[in-house]
Structure 1
Amino acid sequence: MREPRAVRTVLTASLKRRAWAEAVYCLLSFVPALVGFVLIAVVAVALGSVLTLTVLGAVPGILFLVAGLALARGLGTLQRWLAQRLIGERVEEPPRPEARRGLVAGVEARLRDTGAWRAVAYVLAKLPLATLGLYAVLWWVIGALNVIAPLRWMAGERNPRLLSPFPGGGQPPLHSLGATFAATALGCAVLLIAPWLTRGAVAGDRRLVRALLGPGALAKRVRDLEETRALAVDDAAERLRRLERDLHDGAQVRLAALAMSLDMVREQLDDRDRPELRHLVETARDNATETLTELRDLSRGLHPPALDGGLADALTTLAARAALPVEVSVDAPNRPTPAIESLAYYCAAELLANVIKHSGARGCGIELSTGDGTLRLRVRDDGRGGAHIAEGGGLAGLVQRARTVDGELTLHSPDGGPTTVKVRLPLHA
C-alpha cells in the first residue's frame, strides 16, 4: 500500500495547489529579496557602517543605519505576509522597541531594535535561498516548454530547441515531430522533479522566517510569562470579586438578620426578671454587629463596590468621602481590565490616605488618563512635602504591587512641597 501511495504522490505533486503556491511564493519573494539585499545590506548597513567610522560621515551613517533597519522591518512584514498567504506559515511580528522621547533616545532605540537586526540577517541569508527558489521555478518553465514542443512544431516553429534545466546542458534542436514527443517526455520528467525543488527551497525559507522574522526565544518566553501572569491576575481578581459577592449576599445578610433577631429578643426581655439574660443577648448582638462591620470592611478590601461602575466613578466616590477638597480629572476612553482597575483604585486610596494623614495639605488633585495601552494615575497635593519611599512603608508596598504587572511608581516631593506621585500601569495585566 505504501509504494503505490508514494508513486501517486510523486506523479501528482505538480498538480497540487500546494506545489503551485510554493512556486508562486518562490517567484514573488525573489524581487523583495534582491531589492532588500541591495538597499539594506549593501547601501544602508555597509555604507552606513563605513560612514560612522569617519568624523564627517558619522551622522549620515547613523541615518543610513536607522533607515536600513526600518526598511528591514518593512521587508520582514512583507515576507511574513507572503509566507502566510501562500505557504500557510504564520509568524508573529517581533516586539517593536519602546517609543522614547527625544531625537537621541529615539535613534538609540532604533539602533538597539533586535527585531530589525534579525530582519537584516534574514535579508542576508534570503538572497541565496531566493536564487535557489527562482532556479526551482525555472524548472517549471522549462518543463512546460518541453511538454508543448509538439504544439510549437505544429504552430510553425521550425527546429524548436530542447531546453535543459541544468546549467551548460545545451539546447539541441529538434528536427522532427518524433523528436518533439521525446522532448515532451523529458518535460514531464522535469515537471515531476520541479515541485520537490521548490518545496526544498520553501522548506529552507520557512526555517529562516521562523528563526529570524518572528519573536526570538527570549521574547516568546517573556510573552508566554506575560500571558500566564495576566491570566493569573485576572483569575485572582475574578475570584476576589466572587468572594466579595458571596460575603455580601450570604454571610453579611445572615449576620444582619441575626443582629436584628437579637435586638428583637432584647426588647422582649425585662430587666427585672432576667437581667443576666438581657446582658448576654446585648453582648451577642454587639458582637454580631461588630463582626458585620469587620466583614463589610473586609469585603470592601476584596473588591470595592464602587468599581462596579468603573474606575472614574470609584475615584469620584473616593474623593467625595475624603476629609479635604479633592479634584478629580478623568480622561480614560479605554477601560482597563478589572484587575488593573482594582490596583489603580487601591493606589489612589492609599495615596489619598497618605495625603490626609501626613502632608498637612489643604487640597489634592487626582488625574487619571489612558492611552497607548497605558493607564496613568497622578496624585498631587499642596502639603509640606519631604515624602520618601521607605522600606516597609506604604509607598514601598505600592511600588511592589505596581511592579507585579510591569508598572511603576515615581515620587517627587521636595521639602516645602508640592508632592506628586505618578503611577503607570498597563491596561491589561
Structure 2
Amino acid sequence: MQDTHTGAARLRAVLRAPFTAQAWAEAAYCLVGFPVALVGFVLVLVVLALGAGFTVSLVGAVLGLLLVVGSTGLARAFAAVHRRLAAGLLGERVAVPPALRPTGKAFARLDARLRDAAGWRSVAYTLVKLPVAALQLYAVGWWLTGLLDLSAPIRWAFGQRPHPGGEGMPTITPVPVGGGAPHSTAFAETFVAAAIGAVTLLAAPWVTRGIVAVDRWLVRALLGPGELAQRVRNLEETRALAVDDSVALLRRLERDLHDGAQVRLVALAMSLDMAREGLGAEGEPVADPGRLRRLIETAHTNATEALSELRDLARGIHPPVLDDGLPDALTTLAARSTVPVELAVDVPRRPTPAIEAIAYFCAAELLTNVIKHSGARRAVLRVTQDKGLLRLCVTDDGRGGAAPGAGSGLTGLLQRVRTVDGTMHVSSPEGGPTAVTVVLPLHA
C-alpha cells in the first residue's frame, strides 16, 4: 500500500510538472539569465585580461591594477543582477555581501579593493556562469522542441506539409537520435511526433531543475558573504533569536501565571478566609455548616485547577513524555495523530535535553501542519543520527505548497532550530509531496 501511494504521488508530480509555477519560473530564469551571463562574461573577462596585461608591464602597472579593481567592481554589479534574478524567479535568497568602503590613502584603498574577497567571488561566478547559462539555454530547448513537436498535427492540418517526394515533416528532439529523428510523411505519423513532444515536455522541467540546481549551488557558494562573515552573521542572528525567544517565554509564563494560576490561588485564599470567619470563635458552634462546606469545596476546586494549570505550564516548558527519551516521546506523538503516521527512530546516542525538546516540538508542529494544512492521507516521521547530527524528516502525500512565511508555522520552527545552529530544508512543490528535514547538533 505504501509503495502504491508513493508511486501514485510520483506519477502525479511528473504529469503536473510542466504546468507548475516553479517549472515556468525556472525556465524563465534560464532564458533571461543567458544574455546577462554573456554580457557579464565578456565585459569582466576583457577588463580583467587588459588589467592583467598592463600589470605585468612596467609602464602600465598602475593602470593595470586599476583595471583589475574595476573588473571586481563590474563583477559585483553583475552579481547583484544575478542575485535579484535568483531571488525573484527561483526564491533563492542569499545575503548581500557587505559593501567595500576602504579608508586611508590611495594605495591603501587600492590594496583593500584588490583583497576584496566578495569581489573575486563575483568574478568567479561571472566567468563560470556562462557555461552553466549555455546548459540552461539547452534546457529551454527541451521546452521549445517539446511544444513544437506536440503541435505537429495542428501544423499539418493548417497546411505546413512537406513537398511531394521530400523526407517529410521532421521531428525535432533535444537529444541526438541514432539514425536521425523520424519524419512525418502522412497525417497519422504526426501523432508519433506529438507523442515524442509530449514525452519531451514532461521531461523538460526535470532537466531544467537539474541544471538550475547547479546554479543554485553556485549562487549560494559565490554570491553571498564569505564563510566567516556568514558564520558571524548567523551567530549574531541566532543569539538575538535565543534572547527574543527566552523573553517571549518569560512573558508568556508571566501572563499565564497572572491570568490563570494566580487568580485561582487568590480565590483559594479568599475562600479559606471566608471559611475561617465562618468557623467563629474557638469552642463556639458553626453557625452555617452548609455554607462552610460550600466554601471548602470551592477552595478545593480552585486548588485543583491551579495545580492543573501549573502542570500544563511545566509541560509547555519541558514535556514530561521526554523523560523516557525522544523515541518514546515521538511514539506517543505519532499515536495521537489523526493522520496515520509511519514512525522510524534510530537514535543510538541520546541528545542533550535541549536538543530533544527542540526535536520534539519540531515533530509536533510539523505533524500539526500535516493535519491542518496538507490534506494528506498519511505521513512518515523518520529520526536518525549521522556524523554527530540528529536528522528529523517529516514527509506527507498532501497537496504541497508549504513554505516558511506561508502561515504554516515553519518560520517559527526555523527560528527555533537556528538558535542551536541547526538547519531546516523544505521541499514542497505544488501538488506534493512535502518533505521537511530538520538537522540538529546532538549537543546544544
With normalisation by structure 1, the TM-score equals 0.51
Corresponding residue to 1:115 among 105, 115, 118: 118
1:73-96 deviations in Å (ceiling 9; x for gaps): 011111110011001011011122
Structure with larger RCO (C-alpha < 8 A, sep 6+): 2
What's 1:32 paired with? 36
User: 1:99 is paired with a residue of what secondary structure?
Assistant: coil
What's 1:366 paired with? none
* Residues 59-138 of structure 1 mapped to structure 2, 5 A cutoff: 59-138=62-141
Matched letter for residue 131 of structure 1: A
Identity of aligned residues (%): 52
Residue 23 (structure 2) pairs with residue 19 (structure 1): yes
What's 1:254 paired with? none
Deviation, 1:168, is 6.8
Instruction: Report the Cα distance in structure 1 between the residues aligned to 2:24 and 2:134, rounded to whole angstroms.
Output: 18
Contact 1:132 1:201 (C-alpha < 8 Å) held by counterparts: yes
Matched letter for residue 65 of structure 1: V
Corresponding residue to 1:188 among 166, 179, 198: 198
Contact 2:55 2:63 (C-alpha < 8 Å) held by counterparts: yes
User: 1:8 is paired with a residue of what secondary structure?
Assistant: helix
Instruction: Report the Cα distance in structure 1 between the residues aligned to 2:154 and 2:43, rounded to whole angstroms.
Output: 43
Residue 155 (structure 2) pairs with residue 146 (structure 1): no
Matched letter for residue 200 of structure 1: G
Deviation, 1:124, is 2.3
Residue 161 (structure 2) pairs with residue 161 (structure 1): no
Contact 2:87 2:93 (C-alpha < 8 Å) held by counterparts: yes
Matched letter for residue 130 of structure 1: A
Corresponding residue to 1:210 among 220, 223, 226: 220
Change (3 A) 1:10 1:157: same
Deviation, 1:227, is 5.2
Residue 222 (structure 2) pairs with residue 223 (structure 1): no
1:375-408 deviations in Å (ceiling 9; x for gaps): xxxxxxxxxxxxxxxxxxxxxxxxxxxxxxxxxx
Taking only aligned residues, the RMSD between alpha carbons, in angstroms, comes to 2.4
Matched letter for residue 212 of structure 1: L
Deviation, 1:151, is 1.2
Instruction: Report the Cα distance in structure 2 between the residues aligned to 1:84 and 1:24, rounded to whole angstroms.
Output: 13
Instruction: Report the Cα distance in structure 2 between the residues aligned to 1:155 and 1:145, rounded to whole angstroms.
Output: 14
1:26-68 deviations in Å (ceiling 9; x for gaps): 111111112211211x212233112200012212211221211
What's 1:55 paired with? 58
Matched letter for residue 211 of structure 1: A
Instruction: Report the Cα distance in structure 2 between the residues aligned to 1:228 and 1:83, rounded to whole angstroms.
Output: 25
User: 1:14 is paired with a residue of what secondary structure?
Assistant: helix
1:85-125 deviations in Å (ceiling 9; x for gaps): 00101101112223324433332222111101001111222
Matched letter for residue 17 of structure 1: A
User: 1:134 is paired with a residue of what secondary structure?
Assistant: helix
* Residues 9-408 of structure 1 mapped to structure 2, 5 A cutoff: 9-40=13-44, 42-159=45-162, 160-167=169-176, 170=180, 172-226=182-236
**Could you say which structure has the larger radius of gyration?**
1
Matched letter for residue 91 of structure 1: V
Deviation, 1:231, is 9.0
1:303-333 deviations in Å (ceiling 9; x for gaps): xxxxxxxxxxxxxxxxxxxxxxxxxxxxxxx
Instruction: Report the Cα distance in structure 1 between the residues aligned to 2:236 and 2:101, rounded to whole angstroms.
Output: 16
Contact 2:102 2:113 (C-alpha < 8 Å) held by counterparts: no
User: 2:170 is paired with a residue of what secondary structure?
Assistant: coil
With normalisation by structure 2, the TM-score equals 0.50
Matched letter for residue 67 of structure 2: F
Instruction: Report the Cα distance in structure 2 between the residues aligned to 1:50 and 1:164, rounded to whole angstroms.
Output: 44
User: 1:158 is paired with a residue of what secondary structure?
Assistant: coil
Question: What is the aligned residue count?
Answer: 234
Instruction: Report the Cα distance in structure 2 between the residues aligned to 1:206 and 1:61, rounded to whole angstroms.
Output: 33
Instruction: Report the Cα distance in structure 1 between the residues aligned to 2:92 and 2:209, rounded to whole angstroms.
Output: 13
Deviation, 1:171, is 5.2
Matched letter for residue 155 of structure 2: R
Instruction: Report the Cα distance in structure 1 between the residues aligned to 2:103 and 2:240, rounded to whole angstroms.
Output: 25
Instruction: Report the Cα distance in structure 2 between the residues aligned to 1:27 and 1:72, rounded to whole angstroms.
Output: 20
Contact 1:96 1:115 (C-alpha < 8 Å) held by counterparts: no
Deviation, 1:207, is 0.7
Instruction: Report the Cα distance in structure 1 between the residues aligned to 2:183 and 2:126, rounded to whole angstroms.
Output: 40
User: 2:231 is paired with a residue of what secondary structure?
Assistant: helix
Change (3 A) 1:228 1:188: closer
User: 1:89 is paired with a residue of what secondary structure?
Assistant: coil
1:234-277 deviations in Å (ceiling 9; x for gaps): 9xxxxxxxxxxxxxxxxxxxxxxxxxxxxxxxxxxxxxxxxxxx
Instruction: Report the Cα distance in structure 2 between the residues aligned to 1:67 and 1:211, rounded to whole angstroms.
Output: 22
Deviation, 1:12, is 1.2
What's 1:243 paired with? none
Matched letter for residue 93 of structure 1: V
